[in-house]
Amino acid sequence: MDARAAKREAHQIAADQIRQFLRSVDSPHAPEQADHDRIEAALLELAEAHDRRAAR
């Protein structure tokens, strides 16, 4: 596994753990839900950036 693939895998593992934590929070309040949505969007953007870079 090259360094780029290892970094992508590490980011994916971290993203999965963050998503699992966000789902485990009981009934988040509206402001917290907005934060969760922004975090989810950032994780998606990170994954898409890895995909674009891998496609080069």
**pLDDT for residue 29:** 66
Query: Which pLDDT tens digit goes with each residue over 8-52?
Result: 888 888 888 888 887 777 665 666 778 888 888 888 888 888 888
Number of Cβ within a 10 Å radius of residue 19: 14
Tell me how far apart the terminal alpha carbons of the chain are, to the nearest angstrom. Answer: 17
Sign of the torsion angle spanned by Cα atoms 48, 54, 55, 56:
positive
The residue whose two tokens read 């596994």 is: 1
Token pair of 33 as six digits: 């839900």
CA distance 35 to 52: 26
In the predicted model, is pLDDT for residue 1 greater than 80? no
